[in-house]
Chains A and B, each alone.
Chain A
């Protein structure tokens, strides 16, 4: 591969722009849940590996230990698109907990938002290292 000086400079200039666009997408995904409301930090238990070998199947458990939750949303900060999943709980669910497996493209922070039954919101995040990314194409 031949790298021209101009091409290299242009790609270096484009890097921060791409990163900013990504951050905007994450902010938009968070705002879609918050809709102008504020979320309290913490109060969500997240069980995930510190380093996941396979980004295609990253086990994660999400739990609001001390309150009833209506929904839990999971947002990726460094996937091609931020959406991972939204879970909704209805009467009959014994506790605000869901265990699943998610797909991560690279090491990143995963944001978890919980909507509680009393209308308040909580936010937590976890850093997950990924050895082999879950996105090939």
Chain B
């Protein structure tokens, strides 16, 4: 799977108490191309994000199927309960199958 040239940004707390509900904010650079060209040039091919998936300690946690109504630079916020130190993995995939990945660790205790 090839790399997606988009920079993901996360806001995740470093530490949490056992059983605490943490807020995870996810943002990725994926600007919207209007398709408009001065002088009637050819529009670029469609390139949209189709999926965001988040895992916690390897197990599925949250998935978003992104359709036409997705905003540019899509932003998502979820609320997660952490009982132990947890590793999160985030992946955004576009319609061409390219993906951007990042990870985060929340230390509990």
Contact = CB atoms under 8 A, between A and B. Distances in A.
A56 B35 contact: no
B75 A100 contact: yes
16 contacts: A56-B71, A56-B72, A61-B77, A81-B68, A81-B69, A85-B66, A86-B64, A87-B64, A90-B61, A92-B80, A92-B81, A99-B77, A101-B74, A101-B75, A103-B68, A136-B35
Contact of A57 (B35, B71, B80): B71
B67 A81 contact: yes
A100 B26 CA distance: 9
B56 interface: yes
A115 interface: no
Closest 3 CB pairs of A and B: A83-B67, A84-B69, A99-B77
Contacts, number: 102
Given A95-B21, A100-B76, A137-B36, A90 B71 contact: no
A103 B74 CA distance: 10
Interface of B: 21, 32, 34-36, 43, 56, 59-72, 74-81
Contacts of A134: 71
Interface of A: 56-58, 61, 74, 76, 79-81, 83-95, 97-104, 134, 136-137
Contacts of A84: 67-70
Nearest to A81: B68
B71 to A, nearest CB: 4
Contacts of B67: 81, 83-86
Given A56-B71, A103-B71, A137-B43, A90 B59 contact: yes
A93 B79 contact: yes
Nearest to B43: A137
Nearest to A54: B71
A136 B34 contact: yes
A85 B65 CA distance: 5
Residue among A80, A81, A92 facing the most chain B CB atoms (10 A cut-off): A92
